[in-house]
Amino acid sequence: MAGTHKITPTNPRLSALLSDVSRGNIKIPVFQREYVWGDEQIMSLLDSIYNGYPVGSLLLWSTKEELKHERDVGGFALPKTPEDFPVNYVLDGQQRLTTLYGVFNSDAETTDPELAARFNVSFVPSTDEFVHASIAPENSINLRTILDTTKLLPELARFPDDEKKIIADLTERFKDYEFPVVTIKDRSNQEVCRVFQRINSSGTSLSTLELLAAWTWSEQFDLRNEIERLLDSLSDKGFDQVEETLLMRCLATIAINKIDADALVDVKAEVLIESMSKLKQAIYSCVDFLEKQLHIKNFVFIPFPIMLVPLVSFYSDCLKPNAKQVASLKKWFWHCSFTQRYKAGTNSYVMVDIEKMRELAKGNYVFDEMHAKIDPSIFKKTWRINSTAAKATICLLAQCQPKSFLTGQNIDLGEALASYNAREFHHIYPKSFLNGLGIPFHESNVIANICLLNSSDNRAISDNDPYQYFQTIDGGIKEMVFKSSLIPSEFWSGDKPYVDFINARALVLSQVADDLITHGHYSAT
C-alpha cells in the first residue's frame, strides 16, 4: 500500500518514552484540548499498567516544522528544542501521556500546582493499591521516586524485605511497560490534518481550526480565538446558526480561492492572518446585506447555508458595492434559492459562483441575464419550516412588507424571523377548519397556504373559517393586507374552494419569484 513506510509502529518502554518527554523530543501542541481527566481515570491508568493491561497507543507526528506554540506537559516546564531538530507532536494520547509524566514528576517546578497535586500518587505495597499521597499511609512509596534509582534506594530502606520485593516488582512493571506508539513521518500538512480530524479516542471531534491555530499562533494572533469571537459577534446579530466549518470555508475562499478548509494548512501564516481580517469585514457586510436588502433577520432562514461563501467572496473584494452590484447580488440570491441550485453537486456550483462573484466585484455584471421560470408546484410541497423551499418562500414573503390582518401595521420581521417560531406563520385556510371539511393534513399543510403573521393575530384567528375571519378585517386596510400577503384578489371573500385557492396562490408566488430573479426586488402591482 502506498505511503505505508511513512507510518512507523514501535513499542518503547515507558521509561524511555517519559525520558523523551523530559528532553523535549515529545511535545503537546496548542491545538490539543486542556487536561480533562478526573482522579478516577488517573488511578485506573496506573492500575492498568501495573497489571499489564493494554491502555491504547500514542499517535505522534514527527516533523522539523516548528509549531509556534506548544503547551508544557501538565504545567511542567520542558526544554526548548534546537532549531531544525525533529520533534514528535502528540496527535492522540495527550491525556494518558500528561498523566504519566505528571505522576512521575509531581514534585517538579510547575505553573499549575493544583494539577500537580492531583498527580501526587503513592503505592501501598501491603495492599497493592494506588492512593493519593494526601491520604496515603506511612508504609507507602511515592511513584515519583520509583523510576529514579537515586531517589528509590534511600526510600527502600524503610520497608521490610517482603515489601521491598513488591516495590522492586512495581518499578520493573512501570519501567519496562511497552507503550504502543505510532509515528507519522514525511506526511504533508494536509495529510496530517486529515489524520488529526479522524482520531476521536477522547470522544471529542477535533477540527482543522485546531491545527491551524498551532501553525499561526503568536502573542498578537490566535486563530481559534478570532473565529470564536467572530461566531459570538454573529450570534449577537441573530446569526448564531453560522457554524465554525462554514467560516473556515469562507476563510479558504478568501485565502486560496478554494472551499476546502483542509487546504489552509499549507497557507503561510501571514496570508492566513490577513485573510482573517478580510473575513471579518466581509461577513459583517454580508449580514448587513441580508438584513437591509433582503429583510432576513436570522441565518436559519437562508435556504442553503453555503450561500454565505460566494457572498463573502464578493464582499472580500468589494466592501462598498454600487446599487447595480447590490441588485445583481439579489438576483443571484433569488435564483440560487428558487432553482435549488445547491441541492446537488454543491461544491462545483459554489466554485462557479465564486468566480462570478469575483467578476461582479470588478464591475462585470455577470448575473444581469439571469432568468428562470419557477414552477408553481414548488409551492404545493409540504410545509416544513426547515425545508429549502419553505425557507426560500419565507424570505420571499418578507420582501412584501406583510401586514397584520387585524391592525394593518407592518409585521415586525425581526421578531417574526427571529427563530423557528411556528406562531409567526399562519395557515390562511386553517388546518383544523379544512380537516372538518374532510381535507387531510398533507393537503392542508402546504407552502402555498402559509403567510407571515404575528403571534397575536394568529391566536385571534385560530382555526376560524376564512370566510368568517376575512370579514372581520377592516375594509379600509383589506386590500393592503391581502396584497402584502400575496393573496389573489378573487379570493378576498374567503368563500372559494380551498383547492382553487392553493392553485391560484402557488401561481402568484411563482410569479413573484420570477420577478425577484429578473429584477432583484419585488414590485407590488
pLDDT one-digit tens code per residue, 194-236: 676 665 444 444 466 766 776 666 667 788 889 999 999 999 8
- Residue 299 structural domain: 207-361
Residue 191 lies in a domain: no
Determine the pLDDT at residue 154.
Answer: 92
CA gap 240, 262 in Å, rounded: 23
Determine the pLDDT at residue 202.
Answer: 45
- Integer CA distances (angstroms), 515 to 172, 334, 511, 512, in order: 81, 9, 6, 5
Residue 291 lies in a domain: yes
Residue 61 lies in a domain: yes
The angle subtended at Cα 456 by Cα 451 and Cα 457, nearest 5°, is 45
Residue 267's Cβ-side half-sphere holds a number of Cα atoms within 13 Å equal to 28
Burial readout 16-29 (b: 16 or more C-beta within 10 A, e: otherwise): ebbeebbebbbbbb
* Contact between residue 61 and residue 70 where contact means Cβ atoms under 8 Å apart: no
My answer on whether 54 and 158 are in the same domain is yes
My answer on whether 34 and 155 are in the same domain is yes
My answer on whether 164 and 15 are in the same domain is yes
CA gap 117, 21 in Å, rounded: 20
My answer on whether 281 and 393 are in the same domain is no
CA gap 172, 46 in Å, rounded: 14
Of 361, 392, 422, the domain-final residue: 361
Residue 382 lies in a domain: yes
My answer on whether 44 and 149 are in the same domain is yes
My answer on whether 450 and 412 are in the same domain is yes
Residue 194 lies in a domain: no
Residues 6+ apart with CB under 8 A from 358: 313, 314, 317
My answer on whether 152 and 13 are in the same domain is yes
Determine the pLDDT at residue 215.
Answer: 64
Beta strands in 48-135 (DSSP E): 58-63, 70-71, 87-92, 121-124, 129-132
My answer on whether 395 and 506 are in the same domain is yes
What count of other Cβ atoms lies within 10 Å of the Cβ of residue 489?
Answer: 11
CA gap 369, 113 in Å, rounded: 68
My answer on whether 151 and 250 are in the same domain is no
My answer on whether 388 and 497 are in the same domain is yes
Determine the pLDDT at residue 194.
Answer: 67
My answer on whether 156 and 240 are in the same domain is no
Residue 134 lies in a domain: yes
CA gap 95, 416 in Å, rounded: 47
Residue 524 lies in a domain: no
Per-residue pLDDT of the chain (525 residues; tens, 9 = 90+): 444 457 788 999 999 999 999 888 888 876 666 788 999 999 999 999 999 999 988 988 888 777 655 667 888 887 776 666 778 888 888 899 999 999 999 999 888 999 999 999 999 999 999 999 999 999 999 999 999 999 999 999 999 999 999 999 999 999 999 999 988 887 776 677 667 666 544 444 446 676 677 666 666 778 888 999 999 999 988 888 899 989 999 999 999 999 988 788 778 878 888 999 999 999 999 999 999 999 988 898 999 999 999 999 999 999 999 999 999 999 999 999 999 999 876 789 999 999 999 999 999 999 987 778 899 999 999 999 889 999 999 999 999 999 989 888 988 777 766 655 555 789 999 999 999 999 999 999 999 999 988 888 888 898 899 999 999 999 999 999 999 999 999 999 999 999 999 999 999 999 999 999 998 888 765
Residue 277's Cβ-side half-sphere holds a number of Cα atoms within 13 Å equal to 6
* Contact between residue 342 and residue 310 where contact means Cβ atoms under 8 Å apart: no
Give me the number of domains the chain comprises.
3
Residue 276 lies in a domain: yes
* Contact between residue 297 and residue 417 where contact means Cβ atoms under 8 Å apart: yes
CA gap 109, 487 in Å, rounded: 75
My answer on whether 173 and 217 are in the same domain is no
Determine the pLDDT at residue 434.
Answer: 95
* Contact between residue 252 and residue 263 where contact means Cβ atoms under 8 Å apart: yes
